[in-house]
């Protein structure tokens, strides 16, 4: 599982049906890299979160039919950047 800081929500009008109405969130990694994750926890911009990848991400959203490969797993209570 990896550590990211939440950025903006991502809007995608055209997307595959398998993603349904899930919330897509842009995340920034510790080295500045950007990824996209489904969010069922309800993060706010600036929150530090950890993510669950692979097939576990599909279970994490509470609906195995949602076709994500990365889901927000939780909000880290206290995180000090190095």
Which residues here bind a copy of itself, judged by CB under 8 A? Answer: 1-3, 10-19, 24, 26, 30-31, 33-37, 40-42, 50, 52-62, 65, 67-78
Provide the 10 A C-beta neighbour count for residue 10. 11
Q: In terms of CB distance, is 45 or 54 closer to a copy of itself?
A: 54
Query: How near is the Cβ of 20 to a copy of itself at its closest, in Å?
Result: 12
Both tokens assigned to 27: 């995340």
Query: How near is the Cβ of 25 to a copy of itself at its closest, in Å?
Result: 10
Phi, psi of 68 (to 5 degrees): -100, 155
SS3 63: coil
């Amino acid at each position: 599982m990896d550590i990211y800081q939440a950025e903006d929500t991502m809007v995608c009008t055209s997307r595959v049906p398998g993603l349904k109405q899930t919330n897509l969130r842009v995340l920034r990694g510790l080295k500045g890299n950007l990824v996209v994750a489904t969010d069922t926890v309800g993060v706010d911009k600036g929150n530090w979160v950890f993510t669950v990848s692979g097939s576990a991400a599909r279970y994490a959203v509470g609906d195995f039919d949602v076709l994500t490969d990365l889901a927000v797993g939780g909000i880290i209570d206290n995180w000090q950047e190095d």
